[in-house]
Amino acid sequence: MVSQTERVPLFFGVNEISGSIVKIGRRHGLCADRHLATMPVSKGVPYLSFAIKTYWEYQMTISSRWSLTVAVVALTAGLAGPAFSAATPEQVTAALTKLLSEDKGATFTLGEPTQSDAGVVYNNVSIKSSDGGETKVGVLTFSNPTVEGDTLSADSILAENLTGTDKGDTFTASSLELTAPVFTGKEEGNRMDAVSITGISMSQDGKAPVTIDSANLDLSDFAADVPHAIDISVEGIEVDPAAVDAGGQLATQLKAMGYDKLTLGFYGSGSLDEASGDLALNEITIAGTDLGTITVAGTFGGLTTDVIKELKQPNPPQDALGKVTLKQASVYYGDASLAGRIIAEQAKQMGQEPAAFVSQITGALPLLLSAIGNQPFQDKLSQGLTTFLKDPKNLTITAKPANPIALMEILATSQTAPQTLPDVLKADVVVNQPETEDDETGEDTDAN
């Protein structure tokens, strides 16, 4: 099994950077974000657990318990390995029972397996956790399963008609499929190539459900059974604002702008080159129908094997984060009517026409931005925002320092001389650039 502290190297880079900023920043009295933390991977299901946490815990904030629910389901299925002879249903059951028994707090019912053209099939699987939660799987299929020692493997594992209940919360999914996963029952050798979940619904007691068409995780560029490249997509997220807004104020504001529901998508991809130490964050994107698209991208340097080992320590050396550098970064927003709706609603509340409201806001921008303390950048940002507000299309802020700059230096500068950051980072603002499929942000063209 993968230990509680082991992490996928690609995301270890991001998580350990943030966690070390907190630890080292506090040590020097810097106001680092107290909520930054590393993301431990759930024991025994490293890759699926990350996918569930990425979206369900950090994006939708529904219930972190569901990551455990799906992880337990994955434990019954997340297994693959070298090409041995096909295992019998009895062999699969024995190996599966041994793996499930490692979770001392859970009880499970597998039922009598059958052999079919699809593989070894279990019906009406039930898993109960020690705190009273229960997960049921209608059909669990192991395609071409094999057993070799403690390793249970299959070409693919498909769980259909999943239902989970826990303290009033409900989770359902049409299917959960794992492609070429591995479970060895040991610290090393565990892997899977992909995870796909469809027909997801999550709800809290008395509230409308959040539904998701599909969630997919693809892992590649393996070294020693650990992926160094990842792609994740969560599509068709249907949200009733009232279901996730306890106070109701946000839901009221959204309804006033014409949003009775939100349809969202989440996408991310990146890769780690251990030889060069470069972590390429290709994109972290949140897109909303009739809302807009936000994309964050960047490249970090210095994440060599030795530096990663240093950052793994409970108290990283003071100079560890100083070895990690920012090479370039960008934040892109592409509007799909959200900006116009906000402007129209704000103008309505002030009894103005939208054009008059925009003129008033843009006229005040020089004063509002004076707190930055960097006149050339203030002028550039003011001009860019004025162009965008008058005709909302897209806006990108980029950082391309002349030379890679240590993250600790950026953190320290933000506390001691924040007005110099735009110059240190060579920050730029580009607005309303033509969209292309390969270069969505239009970073290379000056909008001003």
Confidence label for 438 from pLDDT (cuts 50, 70 and 90): low
Confidence label for 32 from pLDDT (cuts 50, 70 and 90): very low
Beta strands (DSSP E) in 180-225 are 182-183, 194-203, 210-223
pLDDT of 274 higher than 80 = yes
pLDDT tens-digit map of 213-247: 999 999 999 887 788 999 999 999 999 888 777 77
Confidence label for 187 from pLDDT (cuts 50, 70 and 90): confident
How far is the C-alpha of 227 from the C-alpha of 246, rounded, in Å? 39
DSSP per residue, 61-80: -S-THHHHHHHHHHHTT---
How far is the C-alpha of 284 from the C-alpha of 297, rounded, in Å? 7
pLDDT of residue 437: 61
pLDDT of 51 higher than 60 = no
Compute the average pLDDT of residues 384-388: 97
pLDDT of residue 85: 56
Strand-pair category, 278-288 with 262-273: antiparallel
* Cβ-contact 183, 218 below 8 angstroms: no
Highest mean pLDDT among 88-92, 190-194, 391-395, 441-445: 391-395
Choose the weakest-confidence range: 34-38, 158-162, 352-356: 34-38
Pick 367 or 47 by higher pLDDT: 367
pLDDT of residue 59: 36
Structure tokens at 360: 């008033």
Confidence label for 131 from pLDDT (cuts 50, 70 and 90): confident
pLDDT of residue 242: 81
3-state DSSP call for residue 58? coil
Q: How many CB atoms lie within 10 A of CB 165?
A: 15
Compute the average pLDDT of residues 314-320: 85
Average model confidence (pLDDT) across the chain? 81
| Secondary structure in 3-state letters for 246-303 | CCCHHHHHHHHCCCCCEEEEEEEEEEEECCCCEEEEEEEEEEECCCEEEEEEEEEECC
Pick 180 or 50 by higher pLDDT: 180
Compute the average pLDDT of residues 309-320: 86
pLDDT of residue 39: 33
pLDDT of 395 higher than 90 = yes
Compute the average pLDDT of residues 153-172: 93
pLDDT of residue 311: 87
pLDDT of residue 205: 77
pLDDT of residue 184: 85
DSSP character for 224? T
Q: How many CB atoms lie within 10 A of CB 39?
A: 19
3-state DSSP call for residue 413? helix
Structure tokens at 189: 């050798």
pLDDT of residue 69: 38
Cα→Cα distances 103→39, 71, 178, 307, 344, Å: 21, 12, 20, 34, 55
Strand-pair category, 151-153 with 427-431: unpaired
Structure tokens at 379: 């002028």
Q: What share of the chain is helix, strand, coil (3-state, %, to 5)?
A: 30, 35, 35
How far is the C-alpha of 423 from the C-alpha of 426, rounded, in Å? 5
Rg (CA), the chain: 25
Compute the average pLDDT of residues 390-401: 97
* Cβ-contact 38, 11 below 8 angstroms: no
pLDDT of residue 194: 97
pLDDT of 341 higher than 90 = yes
Read off the pTM. 0.77
